[in-house]
Chains A and B, each alone.
Chain A
């Protein structure tokens, strides 16, 4: 078992709330969420649709600013940081994988993997991208664009892109949600293997109970609140 209270925890959310405006009035998305992830820990976040799981990732990764509460990422409070500072904080340490893959449509598979490395100024970005293509078994697809690949292939590229920079924390939002059973299983297996190999912590949002069961810990959400974390 991991010691979640250890100061080296890459992620700590304290009393986090998120309220967003809408045409029909403000909507409470997250309500007083406390959530901690230890180094190398694999946490599955489960709950019904619309309970705030994806928003939890958005806030935790610094993509969305909470209305209230504190988000501490690698020991740094995101509250006072501007968008560019938060992007710098993520760079090389935090990665994301999405249900809809979100590959850059006008870049090839290799370029998609190398993009975050290039942004971080890594001079070996191209070599590393080739190596990661090989690890996810898509060397032959190096010069293919996302539209020329299947969903499973796209998600493997997305996974390679996420892990190429050697992140310490990987957020995965329904990474198998758009895949058929066989591809879902293959991608999930690859994700868990690679996370284990790199030692990155994993926050996995999923509806898939079998997938969630592979995590070290399962956190349950309901109506914007964390109702169980064990």
Chain B
């Protein structure tokens, strides 16, 4: 057995006392990363295992605002078994006149091709969809039963179609692949939707064909054949997904949440790294005599270094293993708890890759923070046997070089495994800068304490002198606590701003109601009906109506759009149908950035006003041309205006606005938005059901309340995860207190001998640690503020709103917890009898 290993084994017989904080710091961060990774993997595997059911077949093609042609249907039928479903938004109305926007979905007899529709109140889907006289049978989501006070068997109307609620729609196998819905779902037969007039060209409906391929057929040739079948629709005229890509949005969300939670775990590892640094430093310091003896009897410097490197390595492996066990077990427990409530399928199991990645993070963090102090085992001179004033600072050497390499490896691994490396680089650089700043603040505090100590008296002086000393908690615990507080502060501030946006700013600035599908020829009559329902005339500042359609920007500057050349965040305006309107006179609050609005009676070649965000993707400027695909035709328009719009605000917030002459004769339906009190909203919703049953009424207020609720739950989970980083900071504080416990006991004993009261000693320690917590709290909140502000204002474009109560809680909490730690240290020191302590020296 090699000598270093032999000596290390002998040393390890003495146990691993003093390494609890070391183990906890590593285990905590690794557990957080492993748990985030394993949970995300469980959801990914769950989605992959049910991809066929989620998509509703092997391949799905969706059309917007038109149905499949006979030729297309014939072509699709040659590829496999096909099931068609069409959906549209419409107003449901109860017998008592209550109304609610719903998503009505009509399916054919072969639905579902994969999976099963879960119902309550009917045994089979066919039973639920069986008509009752004139009324179409339907399975209805519970939310609509509640909202319209329906019962099984109740007749109600969707648009102009009479429907009977035969069953509660518990779940559809393909729900996850269909995304967000503005209202509860009503599932019925395809011909009901067709007959109800929901599938008229120009209305916002969609039809999807789900195809189960013939046995043995593979995806690639099938998709090639499908694209051939859909050739006439053009490459952007349909959306095609297969079972390998059933839920792209959800998968992206899982990736991003995993990374964000994993990033918090990584930040905990960085904060806990100071605990690792402190524990290894204290360990090597306690071994100074042994190291010097080994050298005195002829050992080279690398022998004691290797002896302790082996021990620390084994302990790091133990800490990482504990973290991996906890991290692997957490999703299994979580899985049991959420099994019945999670809408997303998950296969909770032990997945090696997320655990390997978390383990690698843990070992790299242990090396990055533990190697530098281990270097002192090599550099401690044998003369330490004679002198006690040997420097405790790590000296530059091969160990520090490796520590730097491992630190870079840690950052590199975090970037490489991130879904968006650029964002990850910014986040990691932010943590590195914050850590450096907090470290400098800690050292600055210790330096300032050295200056102030001479000006103070009594317990304050003792506390401040300790703060200035070589074992000052200001240098270790302050940066660690600060990182934890900074993360929590950033999340609290982002959350409070976004919640305020949803709960206060948006209701004050956004319309409370939106009306879609207003026939153009009945617009004036609609205005009159709405004014009657509101009980007052409609004012321009509180009501706006404009033509509306959805379409696509298919080309720019005479060439087709190449989506690959557009940055992913800017693609939304080019790979999606977007809102398009046509407005004559310059709307109020048009916020034009470049160009001039056309005259109200303009009748020349088509002109368009683009929002800044829509123009950004293709770098469009005033004077350049775009090609718009709208209502089955292509309109080439020149960009006349580039303007800012606020999607969340009240006003003509369409990313694309044409001059009215450009769509003359198209007879676009109109949309309207209005500010209204809850009472006006209720009256209008009910009254329009009589005069305009086909006009959809969307309650923005209700949507905002729902969004606020979902956001609050998500934020709670994220905040809980961020608390892990704060715990890591507190662990470092505990480590710092534990390391100095013996010195504290000696100091307290000496002070008692000199006549100090217990109160004075307690006050001294509370001052010392309270100051550490306070400075860490203030610095952490400041850094959290700096991190949160650009996210809120630049990324979310929301109004900055500071949760002062949350901020105060964080600062006072950090100071209070640290001060309490100091008091605990003092009480522990005071509990020892002075004579016993001093005799032990």
For window 276-315 of chain B, which residues contact chain A by CB distance below 8 Å? 289-290, 292-303
Is the CB of B381 closer than 8 A to any CB of chain A? yes
Which listed segment binds B: A4-12, A96-104, A183-191? A96-104
A83 touches B301 (CB 8 A): yes
A111 touches B298 (CB 8 A): no
**Residue of A at shortest CB range from B3?**
A118
B610 CB, nearest partner CB in chain A, Å:
70
Given contacts A64-B386, A88-B298, A95-B297, contact A83 B11 (CB under 8 A): no
B386 touches A55 (CB 8 A): yes
In the docked arrangement, what's the CA distance between A166 and B293, Å?
Answer: 17
A149 CB, nearest partner CB in chain B, Å:
16
In the docked arrangement, what's the CA distance between A55 and B385, Å?
Answer: 10
For window 2-22 of chain B, which residues contact chain A by CB distance below 8 Å? 3, 6-7, 10-11, 13-14
Choose one: A20, A58, A119; the contact of B298 (CB below 8 Å): A119
In the docked arrangement, what's the CA distance between A168 and B616, Å?
Answer: 84
A54 touches B298 (CB 8 A): no
B188 CB, nearest partner CB in chain A, Å:
79
In the docked arrangement, what's the CA distance between A184 and B11, Å?
Answer: 30
**Residue of B at shortest CB range from A62?**
B382
In the docked arrangement, what's the CA distance between A157 and B478, Å?
Answer: 45
A105 touches B14 (CB 8 A): yes
B300 touches A102 (CB 8 A): no
In the docked arrangement, what's the CA distance between A170 and B292, Å?
Answer: 17
Choose one: A87, A105, A165; the contact of B299 (CB below 8 Å): A87
B292 CB, nearest partner CB in chain A, Å:
8
In the docked arrangement, what's the CA distance between A96 and B296, Å?
Answer: 7
A197 CB, nearest partner CB in chain B, Å:
20
B298 touches A120 (CB 8 A): yes
A63 touches B386 (CB 8 A): yes
In the docked arrangement, what's the CA distance between A229 and B147, Å?
Answer: 108
In the docked arrangement, what's the CA distance between A84 and B294, Å?
Answer: 12
A90 touches B296 (CB 8 A): yes
Query: Looking at chain B's contact residues, is the secondary structure mostly helix, strand, loop, or mixed?
Result: helix
Is the CB of B664 closer than 8 A to any CB of chain A? no
B293 touches A119 (CB 8 A): no
Contacts of A118 in B (CB 8 A): 3, 6-7
A125 CB, nearest partner CB in chain B, Å:
10
In the docked arrangement, what's the CA distance between A55 and B386, Å?
Answer: 7
Contacts of B302 in A (CB 8 A): 84
Given contacts A54-B386, A64-B381, A105-B14, contact A115 B297 (CB under 8 A): yes
Give the interface centre of A20, A84, A91 by most chain B CB atoms within 10 Å.
A84
In the docked arrangement, what's the CA distance between A121 and B598, Å?
Answer: 94
Is the CB of B706 closer than 8 A to any CB of chain A? no
In the docked arrangement, what's the CA distance between A22 and B299, Å?
Answer: 28
A30 CB, nearest partner CB in chain B, Å:
12
Is the CB of B839 closer than 8 A to any CB of chain A? no
Choose one: A57, A98, A108, A119; the contact of B294 (CB below 8 Å): A119
B8 CB, nearest partner CB in chain A, Å:
10
A106 touches B386 (CB 8 A): no
Contacts of B303 in A (CB 8 A): 119
**Residue of B at shortest CB range from A162?**
B297
Contacts of A88 in B (CB 8 A): 298, 300
A191 CB, nearest partner CB in chain B, Å:
17
Is the CB of A92 closer than 8 A to any CB of chain B? yes
B11 touches A106 (CB 8 A): yes
B807 CB, nearest partner CB in chain A, Å:
41
In the docked arrangement, what's the CA distance between A102 and B295, Å?
Answer: 12
User: What per-residue 1/0 map shows which CB atoms of A41-68 lie under 8 Å from chain B?
Assistant: 0000000000000110110010110000
In the docked arrangement, what's the CA distance between A84 and B300, Å?
Answer: 5
**Residue of B at shortest CB range from A95?**
B297
**Residue of A at shortest CB range from B379?**
A83
Contacts of A64 in B (CB 8 A): 381, 383, 386
In the docked arrangement, what's the CA distance between A106 and B294, Å?
Answer: 13
A91 touches B298 (CB 8 A): yes
Is the CB of B387 closer than 8 A to any CB of chain A? yes
B298 touches A105 (CB 8 A): no
Is the CB of A161 closer than 8 A to any CB of chain B? yes
In the docked arrangement, what's the CA distance between A183 and B300, Å?
Answer: 34
In the docked arrangement, what's the CA distance between A177 and B14, Å?
Answer: 28
Is the CB of A151 closer than 8 A to any CB of chain B? no
Is the CB of B389 closer than 8 A to any CB of chain A? yes
**Could you write out 18 A-B pairs with CB less than 8 Å apart?**
A63-B292, A63-B295, A87-B298, A90-B298, A91-B297, A91-B298, A102-B293, A104-B290, A104-B293, A104-B294, A106-B11, A111-B10, A115-B297, A118-B6, A119-B3, A119-B297, A165-B297, A165-B298
Beyond A96-B385, A115-B294, 19 additional pairs, beta carbon < 8 A: A20-B387, A58-B383, A58-B385, A63-B295, A83-B301, A84-B302, A87-B295, A87-B382, A91-B298, A96-B296, A96-B297, A102-B289, A102-B296, A104-B293, A105-B14, A119-B297, A119-B299, A161-B297, A165-B298
